[in-house]
Amino acid sequence: MKTLTKTIYTILAALLAMACASSCGDNTSGMMLDGDTRVESMTISGHAAEIDHVAGTIKVSLPTDTDLGALSVDDITLSPGATCDLNRGSRFNGNIPQPVKVVNGDVSQTYTLFASHDNVEILTFTLNARYSGAIDNEARTILVFVPVDADVTAMQVSLTATDGAQVTPASGSLIDFSSPVEFTASYRTATAVYTVTVIQDEMSQAPKAFVGNASSIDGLGPEAQAAARWMMENVPNSHYVALQSVLDGSVILDDYAMVWAHLDFTDWPGVMWDTRDTFNSYWLRGGAILATRDGARYINDVWRIARNQQSPNNMFGGENYETLQNDLGIGIAGNEGHPLFDGIETDGGRILLAAKGMQYSNRTLQWLVDRDGYSSMADWEEATGAKALASNDAGDSNCVTIAEFEPYEALKGSMSGRVITIGSPAYEWHNPNGMANPYKDNMEKLTKNAINHLCQ
């Protein structure tokens, strides 16, 4: 038995030595791993491509009359010894990103090839180094709000555009904007004509933000989208801010004098919930907030604004749209002198916001001050730290549809921001049946007043 065991060990040792000699003796695996796999240069349909080796992208910009669906590779240079699956003479559809695989021995790398037409855009537009324009690169329009007493007949332009572009009139020009002015931007074969309109307005020029849970206004629900578009088109220095950009820190709320959170019924809790500490910190340091529709829910223990950390205690509606049987509004008896209602026509202590025949979702977020532990208006004000500014359409003072949280020393040596909530079912921006709203001016004036008041 000892002899057999010794023989087995001897055989195993010999096999191990042979394996070592064949695979380890020269310290190589037999695989070719030292070749480069770079696309050094590429020419597509007569135009050189830009290659980003880190991002793994190949981008080519072509004249505007080029058929992107029928492109060809004129020339391509690879690392020595490398091969590619898109060779000289290859034809491809540039409307679709193309994978380009480069192989050198046993090493490979895949680039993505993007083809596009030449494009030119105006990126920033400012007048008198103070008044920023709202740029719509799809509609090719720029809207600039200036104070009512500004001299619009001689305003100096400061603008930036696509790198390498030429713009006429040029940046630095002194221009009369008493009527719309056209600016022409050109880059290679691309030309874009922008119409710049200057509007004299009494609103605050402070920067303002509309926050939403989509990356752009187009991705918002219909209610939030309608409100956001109105703000961008009618409120000076307005900006859309995606909540994800607040969450990842690429946007700082402190850069804005006020923030408007107008949320759809389905938005709760969403990304807004994830940004709760950021919003609380913004408010504690003096940031002002307009919280409307389902935005009003966040003033509770999420943003920690309400003293008792409770949201409106009467919330309903929002699931379906119905047709209004009567005009609908809010009651403001006793608060007619508040800045929120400046310049708005009243009807016996009532402001009408929506007309009979319109469709609305009846989404309501209001406080009932005679239930859930509140015994009176004074008790509700003490518990929440808010002031009632408006009641429901019937004028019931026990029903609070607009509330204001005034600044106070929430942190030692620092005043908190002002907060206004609007939860009336009459306060809706989206009307599915498209009926014209004769009380739209009241809606807009109420909102402008709220934004101005918060910017002070």
| pLDDT tens, position by position, 277-316 | 999 999 999 999 999 999 999 999 999 999 999 999 999 9
The residues, any chain, with a CB within 8 Å of residue 104's CB and separated by 6 or more, are: 32, 35, 36, 37, 79, 81, 82, 83
Q: Using CA atoms, how far apart are residues 91 and 71, in angstroms rounded to an integer?
A: 6
8 Å CB contact between 418 and 373: no
The closest alpha carbon to 314, from 362, 263, 270, 279, belongs to 362
Report, as an integer, the average pLDDT of 306-327. Answer: 95
**% of the chain beyond a pLDDT of 70:** 93
> What's the distance, CA 13 to chain centroid?
69
pLDDT of residue 120: 97
Query: Residue 380, exposed/middle/buried by CB under 10 A (0-12, 13-18, 19+)?
Result: buried
- Element spanning 293, H or E: strand 288-293
8 Å CB contact between 216 and 233: no
Q: How many residues are listed for the chain in this entry?
A: 456
Question: Domains plus CATH for the chain?
Answer: 39-117 (2.60.40.2340), 122-200 (2.60.40.2340), 208-455 (3.40.50.880)
pLDDT of residue 2: 44
pLDDT of residue 16: 45
Question: Between 441 and 372, where is the model more confident?
Answer: 441
Query: Does the pLDDT of residue 369 top 50, yes or no?
Result: yes
The tens digit of pLDDT for each residue in 229-275 reads: 999 999 999 999 999 999 999 999 999 999 999 998 888 888 999 99
Confidence of residue 348 (pLDDT cuts 50, 70, 90): confident
Query: Does the pLDDT of residue 90 top 60, yes or no?
Result: yes
Query: Does the pLDDT of residue 22 top 60, yes or no?
Result: no
Query: Does the pLDDT of residue 29 top 60, yes or no?
Result: no
Query: Does the pLDDT of residue 24 top 60, yes or no?
Result: no
DSSP helix, strand, coil percent of the chain (3-state; round to 5): 20, 35, 45
pLDDT of residue 34: 59
Listing DSSP states for 62-77 in one string gives E-TT--TTSEEEEEEE
Residue 381 phi/psi, 5° resolution? Answer: -60, -40
The tens digit of pLDDT for each residue in 104-138 reads: 999 999 999 999 999 999 999 999 999 989 899 99
* Tokens 């590429």, residue located: 42
The tens digit of pLDDT for each residue in 197-207 reads: 999 988 898 99
Confidence of residue 32 (pLDDT cuts 50, 70, 90): low
Confidence of residue 19 (pLDDT cuts 50, 70, 90): very low
pLDDT of residue 166: 97
Whether the model pTM is above 0.85: no
